[in-house]
Amino acid sequence: MSTVNEKCGKIDEAIEAFGIKGRLLTKQPYGNGYINDTFLLTYQLPNGERKRYILQRMNHSIFKKPEELMENVAGVTEYLRQVIVKQGGNPDRETLNVIKTRNGKNYYTDSMGNFWRMFLFIEQTICLEQVKSPEDFYDSAVAFGNFQRMLAEYPAQTLHETIPDFHNTVVRFQNLKKAIKEDRMGRVDLAQKEIAFALEREKDTSVLTDLLREGKLPLRVTHNDTKLNNILFDAETKKALCIIDLDTVMPGLSHYDFGDSIRFGASTGAEDERDLDKVELDLSLFEAFAKGYLEGCSGSLTDKEIEMLPMGAKLMTYECGIRFLTDYLEGDVYFKVHREGHNLDRTRTQFKLVADMEKKWVKMSAIINACGSRDADFRLANPSKGL
C-alpha cells in the first residue's frame, strides 16, 4: 500500500469522498493505460460480500476541464444504460457506471487539486493487450461498430470537445514541426530517420479533414481511442462485453475508430516492440475487423466512408506515430513511459506499420471493396438501416 500512497498523496482523501460503505481491504495500481492513474479498490461490505471499484486520478494536464469531461462520461454512460436495458442487456456490465461522491458529484477534487472519479469494477472480464485470435478481434470490431450505432441518436451538440483537434492530423503534424524546431531535449539528431519518414507524408495529413469539410464524410459520435485494451471481454463467454475509456467520446469520423483499432490490434507486434521484423499489418486481422465493424454499424456507413477505411487505418497509425515522436522530442511529457527511448520505439512500430500498409494497399482496398459490396447488399435488403 505504501507505493500507492507515495504515487498519489491524496488517494485516501479521494477514497473517503466516495463514501463506499464497508471496509477497504486493498488498493492497488491497475491496468496498462498511458493517460490516467488507475487503481483497483476491494471492499468488504457490511453483509460480508466483497465488492470492487475502479478509482482513477484523471490526467488534468491532458484533460484541462475535468468537469466537462465528466459531464460527457456521465451523459454517455446514462444514455447507454437506457439503450442496453431496452435491448435486454445487463447495464451494470455492458457499460461503465459512474459512482457519485457523497455530495452527489461525478468526481472529487482533492486538496492538492487532483481530480478523481470512480466506476463499478466490471468483474469476470479479460482485457487484452494483443489480439489472441481473429475471432476476438472480429468481436471487438462488432462492439465498436455497435457502440457507434447505439450513440447515433445521442445529442452530439451537448458533448464537450475534451481534447481539441484530437484526430486532426494536420494540427498533429504542425505540432511535430514545432517540436523539431524547438528541439527542447536535443533529441532531433537521434530521430533523423523517423523525422524524415514523417515529413515525407505531409500531403496525406489533410485527406480526411478535407473530405469532412467538403461534406463528403459525415460527422458522428465516435469513441476516438479504440485500442484493444479499451474493451473488456467476458471471461466466461469470451465475447466483447464493455467499451471503456470514454474520455475522448466526441464528434468524429468513423475512420478514427476503425483506424485506431487497426493500428493497435492488426499489428503482429506490440506497440512498443523493438524488433521491427516482428511488426507488420496482418491482413487477415484487417479483414476480420473490417467485416465486424461494418456489421456492428449495421449498414449505417456511407459508400464514401467505406471506401476511405484503408486511409483511416493508415492515417491513424501515422498520426499516432507522429504523436509519439513529438512526445519523444518534447521530453516524454504526454504518454507514460517505462524505459529510455520508449516513445521512439513506439514511433518506429507505427511507422513500420504505415510502410507495410503502403506495400499492402491494393490488398487492403480489395478487402474493403468486398466488405463494402456485402454491406451494400445488406442496405438494399434493409432500406431503413442505411443513411
In the complex, the residues that contact Mg ion under the rule CB under 5 A are 33, 230, 245
Nearest-approach distance from CB 142 to ligand ADP, in angstroms = 19
- Report if residue 169 touches ligand GN1, rule: CB under 6 A: no
CA distance linking residue 69 with residue 370, whole number of Å: 39
Between 271 and 295, whose beta carbon lies closer to ligand GN1?
271
CA distance linking residue 180 with residue 187, whole number of Å: 9
- Report if residue 322 touches ligand GN1, rule: CB under 6 A: no
Residue with cell 507486434: 269
Please state the separation of Cα 186 from the chain's center in Å. Answer: 31
Q: How far is CA 336 from CA 97, 137, 155, in A?
A: 26, 25, 33
CB 55, CB 118: distance < 8 Å: yes
Between 272 and 356, whose beta carbon lies closer to ligand ADP?
272
- Report if residue 30 touches ligand GN1, rule: CB under 6 A: no
Nearest-approach distance from CB 180 to ligand ADP, in angstroms = 27
- Report if residue 273 touches ligand GN1, rule: CB under 6 A: no
- Which member of 30, 34, 79, 378 binds ligand GN1 (CB under 6 A)? 34
Closest CA to 147 of 249, 280, 29, 1: 249
Instruction: Provide DSSP, 141-210.
Output: HHHHHHHHHHTTTS-GGG---SSTTTT-HHHHHHHHHHHHHH-TTS-GGGGHHHHHHHHHTGGGGGHHHH
Total number of residues binding ligand ADP (CB under 6 A)? 21
Between 34 and 378, whose beta carbon lies closer to ligand GN1?
34
- Which member of 119, 166, 173, 256 binds ligand ADP (CB under 6 A)? 119
Which uninterrupted H or E stretch holds 17?
helix 11-18
Question: What residues make contact with ligand ADP under the rule CB under 6 A?
Answer: 30-36, 38, 54, 96, 119, 121-122, 125, 127, 229-230, 232, 244-245, 247
Question: What residues make contact with ligand GN1 under the rule CB under 6 A?
Answer: 33-35, 225, 227, 230, 245, 247-248, 260, 271, 320
